[in-house]
Each structure stands twice: as C-alpha cells, then as structure tokens.
C-alpha cells in the first residue's frame, strides 16, 4: 500500500506539472514610446474555422490601445448575419439564423488596457457534439470606455476638451461544421456603372447571391478585349465572403490612361465551392470628348482655311 504522505506528494507534483498548462494565456505587453494615434486596434477582423461536432477551436485576439488614455475593455458576444447593403449585420441581443454566440467563450471579459499596451486574448469556440453540418456565425465585440479617474480632492477628472470615449470593434467568426451541407450560389449580374466613358476609369460591379447553407468566398478574373478581340488587360478579383441567404456585390475599377473605342469585359467567376466557374460579358465605350472635339475643331478650321484661300486666289490652268 502506498504511503498517504507519498500519495499527497505525488498529487502535488502532478498538480504543479499539469496545472501550469491550464494557467490563463491572457497577457498584456507594454510598448514604450508608442505614439498617440487616437485609436484602438483589434486583430484579426475575421477568422474562419473548420471544426467537427464536439471539437474546440482556439483563436487569439490582439487588442492594442493607441488612444493616449487608459481604457476599460469589455468583451461581448453577438451573432451576425448578412446584409444586402453591407457585408454583415450585428444582431445585438437577437439570435441569428445560424447562431454561434452560445459557443464562443472569451478567456477574459473585462480588463483595463493602458496606452501603449497590447492584450493577447484567447477565445474558445466550443462546438456541441450534436451540431449539424453547415455554417455558424458569431462575433466578439470589443467595447472600450475611457477610464475616469478621481483627483486627490475628490473631483472627477477626464481628458480636457474631450467627451467620454466609447468604441465598439468586432472580430467575426465564420465556423464551418464538417459534413455535407448545401453549397450553392449564383451570379446575379455583371455590369459597368455606365456605357459611355470619357476616360479609362471604368467601374465593374459583380453581384453574387448565396442560396446555400454556408458562407461562400467567390473570386474572379476580368479580361478586357478591344474591338478587334485582342486582350489588352486582366484584373484579379480577390475573394469576398457572402453570407447564406443574401446577395453581396463587389466593385472593381479599371484604370487605363490611353483608351478609345468599344471594349468587352469577360468575367470568369469561381463560385467559391468546388470547380464551379461561370462566365458573363459586358460591353462599354470610351470616347474622350476633349480629343474628339479638338479633332473636329481642327477639321472645321482646316475646311474654313481651304474655302478662304480658294476665294482669295484664283487657280488658273496653263493653256
């Protein structure tokens, strides 16, 4: 039989050994001589995780105070959904159709962050064992309020000439539960903002609709050809996310210094899942009016000069 005192020593050793691994990873780092930029920096703004039912995902948020004042930091959790006008819509106390907020657990919910300090905050995403395949969406909301301090005489003191600071920043979590889930989307339109341009500053608009169960990240290329069908330029369109059940557009600008005539733009869109590629075309015209007017003016002046010279000098034929 093991001596009880020896058992206690073993337990204490194991607690010390493995207990250290469970100590909070929350950490604040102080940076000397950090300039005052008047802002709070949060990163990353977006995190994507692919998790199985019952799995725990871990992400680290970095929060840096550059306001010049100490801040009271609070961490709230909300759901978010899509928006046909903006990329996302935070839902406050409301629950989203693909709610994640009950599964997001920040390591710390309240702390003070002085100017020049950066906090590393661990966030756990605990997926239940009975979670169904598909997408879940939530956000960690970082709320910052200026710390109000008291003078020795008892008076409340803030920053002179400023009102109390209150800021909200969001870090979005896009979680994909592994398994079969409906992935489906379609290109709604590919257009230019107008048909005729006076210069080569052309805006392309791509409207994409997500009709599936998970968020998608479509991306594309745009090839531009002239009247003769010759390729003169190509634009890469970086991925952008579209929430399930919503449409979202992407605007891309083409800048060409010297351009004149009819052009065709061909969109090659990857829908963001599998190898699904769809194509669309649009045409537009670039007619620099200043150049055209100068050309017409030159022709008119030349014609007037010819008529004037013809009226002043008689051309005789040699007999």
Condensed to tens digits (0 to 9), the pLDDT of residues 224-246 reads 999 999 999 999 999 999 999 99
70/113 Cα distance (integer angstroms): 6
* Strands 46-51 and 166-177, sheet pairing: parallel
Q: Does residue 65 surpass a pLDDT of 60?
A: yes
Nearest to 83 by CA among 243, 233, 224: 243
What is the predicted pLDDT for the residue at 318?
A: 52
Split at pLDDT 50, 70, 90, the class of 312 is low
Q: Does residue 21 surpass a pLDDT of 60?
A: no
193 Cβ contact partners less than 8 Å away, ≥ 6 residues apart: 203, 205
Helix (H/G/I), strand (E/B), else coil: 68? coil
126/130 Cα distance (integer angstroms): 12
Q: Does residue 302 surpass a pLDDT of 90?
A: no
What is the predicted pLDDT for the residue at 121?
A: 97
What is the predicted pLDDT for the residue at 308?
A: 65
Query: What predicted TM-score, i.e. pTM, was given to this entire model?
Result: 0.77
Say how many residues make up the chain: 319
Q: Walk me through the domains of the chain, giving residue ranges and CATH numbers.
A: 25-177 (2.60.40.10), 185-291 (2.60.40.10)
Q: What is the mean pLDDT of residues 111-128?
A: 97
How confident is the model over 86-102, as pLDDT tens digits? Answer: 789 999 999 999 999 99
Q: What percent of the chain has pLDDT over 90?
A: 69
Helices (H) and strands (E) in the chain, counts: 2, 21
């Amino acid at each position: 039989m093991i001596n009880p005192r020896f058992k206690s020593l073993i337990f204490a050793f194991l607690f010390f050994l493995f207990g250290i691994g469970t100590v909070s990873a929350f950490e604040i780092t102080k940076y000397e001589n950090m300039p005052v930029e008047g802002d709070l920096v949060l990163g990353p703004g977006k995190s994507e995780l692919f998790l199985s039912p019952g799995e725990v995902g871990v992400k680290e948020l970095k929060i840096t105070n550059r306001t010049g004042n100490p801040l009271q930091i609070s961490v709230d959790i909300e759901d978010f959904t899509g928006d046909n006008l903006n990329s996302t819509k935070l839902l406050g106390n409301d629950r989203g159709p693909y709610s994640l907020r009950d599964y997001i657990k920040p390591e710390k919910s309240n702390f003070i962050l002085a100017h020049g300090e950066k906090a590393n905050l661990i966030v756990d995403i605990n997926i239940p064992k009975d979670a169904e395949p598909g997408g879940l969406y939530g956000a960690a909301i970082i709320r910052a309020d200026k710390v109000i301090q008291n003078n020795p005489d008892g008076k409340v003191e803030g920053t002179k000439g400023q009102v109390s600071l209150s800021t909200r920043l969001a870090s979005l979590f896009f979680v994909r539960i592994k398994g079969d889930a409906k992935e489906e989307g379609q290109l709604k339109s590919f257009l230019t903002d107008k048909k005729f341009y006076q210069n080569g500053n052309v805006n392309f608009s791509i409207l994409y609709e997500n009709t599936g169960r998970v968020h998608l990240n479509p991306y594309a290329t745009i090839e531009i050809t002239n009247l003769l069908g010759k390729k003169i330029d190509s634009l890469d369109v970086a991925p952008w996310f579209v929430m399930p059940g919503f449409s979202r557009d992407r605007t891309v600008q083409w800048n060409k210094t010297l351009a004149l005539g009819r052009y065709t733009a061909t969109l090659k869109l990857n829908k963001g899942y599998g190898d699904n590629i769809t194509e669309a075309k649009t045409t537009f015209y670039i007619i620099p009016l200043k150049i055209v007017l100068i050309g017409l003016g030159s022709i008119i002046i030349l014609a007037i000069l010819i008529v004037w010279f013809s009226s002043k000098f008689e051309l005789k034929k040699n007999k």
